[in-house]
Structure 1
Amino acid sequence: MTTKRRLPMIRIWAVWISALFLVALPTMAQASLDIMAVTPDTFEQGTTTTLTITGTGFVEGTTVDVSGIGTVADTFVDANTLTINLPVSITTGTYDITVNNPTPATATLNNAFTITAPAPTSAPTLEPLSISGSEPNQITNGRVNTLSVLGTGFTASTVARVVGFGVLETTVLHSGALNATIPETIPAGEYAIEVSDAAGRKATSPDKLLVVAPPLPTSEPPTLPTPVEVTTQPALSIVNFSASPNSITPGQSTRLTFVVQNRGNQVARAIAVSLASEGQFVVANGQASITIPDLLPGATFNASMTVTATQDIAGGPASIPLQLDYTDNTGNTYSNTGELSVTILATAYQSQLVIDAYTVEPSPAKPGDPLIVRMTLSNRGTAMAGQVTLSVTAEEALLLPDGRGDTFVVGDMAPGEQIAVQMPLVVSSSAEDGSQVQPLVIRYYQDGEAKEVNTGITVEIALVEQSEPLLLLTSYETDLDVLKPGSRFTLDINLQNVGTAMANATIVTFGTIQSSGGTGGDGATGDSQTSTTPSTTFAPLSTAGVHYIGDIAAEGSIDLSQDFIVAGNVTSGIYSLPITLQYDLPDGTNKQESINLSLVVIAPPRLRINPPNPLPEAVNMGEPVTVSLNIANMGQTTVDLEKATISTNNGEIMEGETVQLEPLKADDDTALNVTIMPMEEGPLDVEIAIDYLNGLGQLETIKLTYASEVMAPPPPPDEPQMPTEPEPEPEPEIDWFGRIVMALLGLGS
């Protein structure tokens, strides 16, 4: 029989008490659940989506409920901190927050935060709608043409119309320019150009549009093109859009209204428009995408979507990428992307440089031809933009520098300031015809930090049917920094053929060539005679100034040097040196062009300064020396003297260290006096610097140096010895008493 052993009662109680302690330990260690505050507790709708909850007793797995919303996404930071993300669609009002721990435990903070309605924004003031011009002024029907309209006040809703024909498909480039597509079906005739917008504003171009029919075909039968296979498929694109409001701040929403058009030749089905992921916008109100009904070829559909800018978006123009997904009749899928844009208002103190308007002359421009781009650059920011420059960029640029560089200095721009910029450029010989984009870079400094803005302009390139050479002077320099009357110098030039054909039998003449008889000019034939007139300012040396170069290939260049002498009688100024270029075109005709170099000549003043050396060969130490000069104007024009500055290496200038001078008329003179006290034995050098303005208003200096020797002063002469006079002998003392006694006695005197 097995006897059961009983545990002592004290051990049973000990085990039971230990178990109770272990079960109660976590509860005793954990602080009570409580909500102390929510930050921020008041904010405008759409300005923030993240809140921070502070309190006690938070643990991993804690959930947060917002009254009227339900459970929201939260992040456990520590036992005293939680963060929650509010949905973008949350409306205005006051909300309670409840925190639920898995223990379980619950804590609620009533009226935890309040969302207020955003402050109303005033409607932007529209710039007046106007048209300064339209181009081209003549087109040929039967093919699609592009119309460019320049003016002010263009918005996203602005469209162009050919009066008497209809509204055109319009692309607004910016507030000062738009492009419109003229279909090939437009009848021949003269039309007026008009623009209008959704605000009911209208403006008419001062330029008329002349549409002409294509020339009749020749009797020679045309060569038929090789038949190509026509692809049948839908093609969706966004042809117009507007944003309300069109200027927003980071975190603010805007409603996009746009038109989707099927430009293909097959019906588009299962169409969905969504916000592409690569932008800095998110959909608002949970609207992930919108569905559009099937579109027949050529059909359109008006759609809208509300998006919200992210908090970290940068100020300025911002692109909103929209993705178009659709299928065709057979189930093949297609995807296109269209970009809309709004302006993000800068909330920080910063510069914002934009191109307000621009024109290109001529337009359309031919490849290889020079053109001028005139634009208005504006600082729409709130900070000063320093050292602003505008550069033509791109590895294969459409526009090339004309020899003066591809960067144009604008200067400093204050907030709200507008500056007109003019850029002379040359169209690349490889430019393709049609509307082409030239990238530009605006560089500047804000508070010492370098910044840049990438932008661009659209240039219309004309269709060039025949290749021609075009010689341009791309650079030139002289071996002397300053040209003076009588100077001999060497001029180095670089010529470049920016055309599309070889320049044959090229001749460069330093001077002007005039033709008489024949036809003259381009394609000169017959009994023409030519005469060369050299420059009257710069005479060629060693040669007659005529150089035979030979053939210059397209995009090729040559370097050429010529020695000259400047005429001795010229005054200060900027002088032209004419250069005549003669070369043969591919069709055998001769072309002659004249170009002019600008060279600066500075004539020094004709001053006579006497005496040649106003210092004696030797002066005594410690004895003042006066230097006197007479300055006479021997020329025929006034010399603008400014001041004279005197310095010395061994002495003190007692009077006349700096002397203000007056303009010196022709045949007039002036005096200059200065007093110097030599200090030590040895060489004495005196330098006199005379400042004057040359003929171009530039400050120049004439330096004169005079030398002498400081000697010790001679010792003083000995004083002469005066003769010593002999001391007089003392007269004997007279005894008057004795004489009186003797006189009384009759004994003598």
Structure 2
Amino acid sequence: MKKTLIGIALIGMIVFSGFTSTISYKNTFSGKAILQEETTETTEVTETATTVVSTTVAPTATTIPTATAVPTATTPAYSRPLLNLTSYSYDSSEVYAGNVFGMDCVFQNLGQQRAYNVVVTYSASSLTAEDNGGVDVISSLGASESATSEQDFTVSSSISSSPVTVNVNIEYRDESGKSYTQSFAVSITVTGYGYYYTSTPEGRPQIVVANYETDIDPLEPGTSFVLSMNLQNRGYMTAQNVSMVFGGSSSSGSSTTTTTTSADDNFLPLGSSNVQVIGDVGVNQYIQVQQTLVVNSEITPGVYPLTLSFTYTDEDGNEFTDNQIITLLVHLVPSIEVSFYETPDPFYVGEASTLPIQVVNIGSDSVLLGDIYINAENVTLSNNLTFVGTLESGGSFTIDTDITPQQAGTFPVTVTINYQDNFKKAQTITQTLNITVTDNQMAVATIDPALVATEMAKMPNGGFPTSNSNENFGSILLRFFRGMIGFDSSAVSGQNRNNPGVMNTDSSAQ
């Protein structure tokens, strides 16, 4: 029994031991599966890590084009701000003497960069900037942006001309601090000479010389001439009791007016004094005045000022004295006389002859002359152009011009001489000489035998040549016919001139 129980116990232990081993095996496999899964997970983690690395590299690759684009975004060397004055405006009715008006200027940035610290400066003669001293500031102005600058001006009470130029200067900087400057000029029309859109305008009358001229041009030392001037009142009030002094100045007191003249020694009055009383001159009115003057014969050629002094009052009795200057030019015109230095031979159609021309300096100063040119119509000329040179006082220059007339009649011979005046301008002297050309065909005449015998008797040896005579029968016959038609029948000797131009410096020979 005991053996039976022991056997059963052993069998039971054996069976129990086998069951336990099976369970352990299964658990071990299951552990391997878990490890495999963990390995798979690890592999997945590795793949995930790879993906992360790939993701990390991708932004780095994206950054590279960004770095490449930086030079493209860099500002080009020519890029800069550029300001332009596109327009300006003002109320012209407010621009008159003594009044204040405003002007608006519109600036636009036509460049590619923003302009910083824009400083606008205004300046003008006869206009005074108000409030800000003529300086306006714009903080910045972007590309294509516009801004308006405003400036007030006070018009001078003594303004005497229109329009007035206002100089507008601007200074600004770019993003890097580089400075730029530009200048503009705008024109302001002053309406301060007439009637205004205000009940109490401020200003004064203003007499000015609008234009002037002389009746003789050019002026020379010793020349008498008439000076004509157009005066205009360009103020806004009537100029009363206007008087004018030539070549001097005038002063006036409160109760009486005393005129003190300072005579101009270069231009002296003729026929009247140098003081003229003009009277009242209305606003914008023109007055013409004339004065006869003479140029001092002692002055040298040149540019000379002539001072004019105007004295007048306004409607309120305020006195004004204005001195103005006009300019007169005094020239040195050579005193030249052109003539024949001897009586020329008779001129016949188709026959060559000579023009014995001389040029004489009859002035008191030496002159430098250029070319002399001789010209005439219906003739053929040669040796008619040559250079003269310097002629002393009383000196002469001669030229023999060959001439062959082509037509009978009286013709002018024009002599033109070039020279340079004291103002370096080319001038000419032109004078004319007259010549008479005769047809060389002898008139057909009825020969009276008695007259022939009488003429033959007057001739030596009865009209026949002698052995000592140089004349042949043909020459005697020609002289006979010349006497028949009224010409000189005496023997002639031909002249042979060859003078292309000779200077005669001996003044006593003239």
Structure 2 length-normalised TM = 0.50
Name 2:386's counterpart in structure 1: 659
TM-aligned CA deviation for residue 398 of structure 1:
1.1
Alpha-carbon separation, structure 1, partners of 2:227 and 2:365: 29
Query: In the alignment, does 2:337 pair up with 1:546?
Result: no
Query: In the alignment, does 2:260 pair up with 1:561?
Result: no
Name 1:718's counterpart in structure 2: 473
Query: In the alignment, does 2:311 pair up with 1:582?
Result: yes
What SS is found at the alignment partner of 2:391? coil
Alpha-carbon contact 1:367-1:428 (below 8 Å) kept = no
Q: 1:660 to 1:363 in 2, by over 3 A?
A: farther
What SS is found at the alignment partner of 1:543? coil
Alpha-carbon contact 2:158-2:204 (below 8 Å) kept = no
- Cα deviation code 1:520-567 (max 9, x no counterpart): x5x746999643233334333332232222233344443323333444
Alpha-carbon separation, structure 2, partners of 1:645 and 1:481: 24
2:359 to 615, 620, 631: 631
- Cα deviation code 1:690-732 (max 9, x no counterpart): 22223332322322223133352889962599xxxxxxxxxxx
Name 1:692's counterpart in structure 2: 419
Alpha-carbon separation, structure 2, partners of 1:708 and 1:613: 15
Q: Which runs of 5+ in 2 are unaligned?
A: 1-71, 83-99, 106-110, 123-127, 169-184, 444-470, 477-510
Query: In the alignment, does 2:368 pair up with 1:368?
Result: no
1:640 to 353, 368, 374: 368
Alpha-carbon contact 1:488-1:566 (below 8 Å) kept = yes
Query: In the alignment, does 2:208 pair up with 1:475?
Result: no
Alpha-carbon contact 2:213-2:227 (below 8 Å) kept = yes
Query: In the alignment, does 2:499 pair up with 1:599?
Result: no
Alpha-carbon contact 2:372-2:386 (below 8 Å) kept = yes
Alpha-carbon contact 2:341-2:358 (below 8 Å) kept = no
Name 1:123's counterpart in structure 2: 78
Partner amino acid, structure 2, of 1:718: F
Alpha-carbon separation, structure 2, partners of 1:528 and 1:720: 91
- Cα deviation code 1:666-688 (max 9, x no counterpart): 55443322122334554454322
What SS is found at the alignment partner of 1:533? coil
Partner amino acid, structure 1, of 2:401: V
Name 1:672's counterpart in structure 2: 399
TM-aligned CA deviation for residue 660 of structure 1:
2.8
- Cα deviation code 1:16-69 (max 9, x no counterpart): xxxxxxxxxxxxxxxxxxxxxxxxxxxxxxxxxxxxxxxxxxxxxxxxxxxxxx
Q: 1:195 to 1:720 in 2, by over 3 A?
A: closer
Alpha-carbon separation, structure 1, partners of 2:104 and 2:295: 52
TM-aligned CA deviation for residue 465 of structure 1:
8.5
TM-aligned CA deviation for residue 645 of structure 1:
1.6
Name 1:241's counterpart in structure 2: 141
Alpha-carbon separation, structure 2, partners of 1:467 and 1:720: 96
Flag the structure with higher strand content.
Answer: 1
Structure 1 length-normalised TM = 0.36
Alpha-carbon contact 1:156-1:172 (below 8 Å) kept = no
Alpha-carbon separation, structure 2, partners of 1:711 and 1:144: 85
Name 1:497's counterpart in structure 2: 233
Alpha-carbon separation, structure 1, partners of 2:475 and 2:203: 109
Q: 1:656 to 1:399 in 2, by over 3 A?
A: farther
- Cα deviation code 1:156-194 (max 9, x no counterpart): 73546xxxxxxxxx6689xxxxx99956xxxxxxx9x99
Partner amino acid, structure 2, of 1:591: F
Q: Kindly report which structure 2 residues correspond to 1:227-626, keeping only aligned pairs within 5 A, or say none.
A: 241-243=141-143, 256=144, 365-366=156-157, 368-370=159-161, 373=165, 398-399=189-190, 466-513=202-249, 524=253, 530-585=259-314, 588-611=317-340, 614-616=343-345, 618-626=346-354
2:115 to 126, 144, 157: 157
TM-aligned CA deviation for residue 583 of structure 1:
1.3
TM-aligned CA deviation for residue 594 of structure 1:
1.6
Alpha-carbon contact 1:367-1:431 (below 8 Å) kept = no
Q: 1:582 to 1:664 in 2, by over 3 A?
A: same
Alpha-carbon contact 1:583-1:592 (below 8 Å) kept = yes
Alpha-carbon contact 1:158-1:195 (below 8 Å) kept = no
Partner amino acid, structure 2, of 1:123: Y
Q: 1:563 to 1:196 in 2, by over 3 A?
A: closer
TM-aligned CA deviation for residue 582 of structure 1:
0.9
Q: 1:679 to 1:559 in 2, by over 3 A?
A: closer
Alpha-carbon separation, structure 2, partners of 1:670 and 1:720: 37
Alpha-carbon separation, structure 1, partners of 2:274 and 2:189: 35
Alpha-carbon separation, structure 1, partners of 2:320 and 2:230: 19
TM-aligned CA deviation for residue 605 of structure 1:
0.8
Alpha-carbon contact 1:615-1:707 (below 8 Å) kept = no
TM-aligned CA deviation for residue 144 of structure 1:
12
Q: 1:182 to 1:625 in 2, by over 3 A?
A: same
Q: Kindly report which structure 2 residues correspond to 1:1-16, keeping only aligned pairs within 5 A, or say none.
A: none
TM-aligned CA deviation for residue 689 of structure 1:
1.7
Alpha-carbon contact 2:405-2:437 (below 8 Å) kept = no
Alpha-carbon contact 1:495-1:557 (below 8 Å) kept = yes
- Cα deviation code 1:346-368 (max 9, x no counterpart): xxxxxxxxxxxxxxxx9975563
Alpha-carbon separation, structure 2, partners of 1:720 and 1:504: 90
Alpha-carbon separation, structure 2, partners of 1:561 and 1:719: 73
- Give the aligned length: 330
TM-aligned CA deviation for residue 508 of structure 1:
1.6
Partner amino acid, structure 2, of 1:490: V
Alpha-carbon separation, structure 1, partners of 2:262 and 2:475: 87
Alpha-carbon separation, structure 1, partners of 2:434 and 2:243: 54
Q: 1:550 to 1:614 in 2, by over 3 A?
A: same
What SS is found at the alignment partner of 1:490? strand
Q: Kindly report which structure 2 residues correspond to 1:19-168, keeping only aligned pairs within 5 A, or say none.
A: 122-124=77-79, 157-159=115-117
Alpha-carbon contact 1:367-1:430 (below 8 Å) kept = no
Q: 1:496 to 1:257 in 2, by over 3 A?
A: closer
Please provide the CA RMSD for this pair: 5.3
Alpha-carbon separation, structure 2, partners of 1:144 and 1:476: 35
Alpha-carbon separation, structure 2, partners of 1:156 and 1:432: 42
TM-aligned CA deviation for residue 512 of structure 1:
0.3
What SS is found at the alignment partner of 1:647? strand
Alpha-carbon separation, structure 1, partners of 2:236 and 2:80: 49
Alpha-carbon contact 1:644-1:658 (below 8 Å) kept = yes
TM-aligned CA deviation for residue 241 of structure 1:
3.0
Partner amino acid, structure 2, of 1:398: T
Alpha-carbon separation, structure 2, partners of 1:196 and 1:122: 27
State, as a whole percentage, how many aligned pairs show the same letter: 18
Partner amino acid, structure 1, of 2:247: G
Partner amino acid, structure 1, of 2:232: Q
Partner amino acid, structure 2, of 1:692: Y
TM-aligned CA deviation for residue 610 of structure 1:
4.9
Flag the structure with higher helix content.
Answer: 2
Alpha-carbon contact 2:340-2:355 (below 8 Å) kept = no
Alpha-carbon separation, structure 2, partners of 1:590 and 1:720: 94
Q: Which runs of 5+ in 1 are unaligned?
A: 1-116, 128-142, 149-153, 161-169, 174-178, 184-190, 199-239, 244-255, 260-337, 340-361, 377-390, 401-426, 434-463, 515-520, 722-749
Alpha-carbon contact 2:81-2:115 (below 8 Å) kept = no
Alpha-carbon contact 2:193-2:284 (below 8 Å) kept = no
Query: In the alignment, does 2:425 pair up with 1:708?
Result: no
Which of 1 and 2 has greater Rg? Answer: 2
TM-aligned CA deviation for residue 608 of structure 1:
4.0
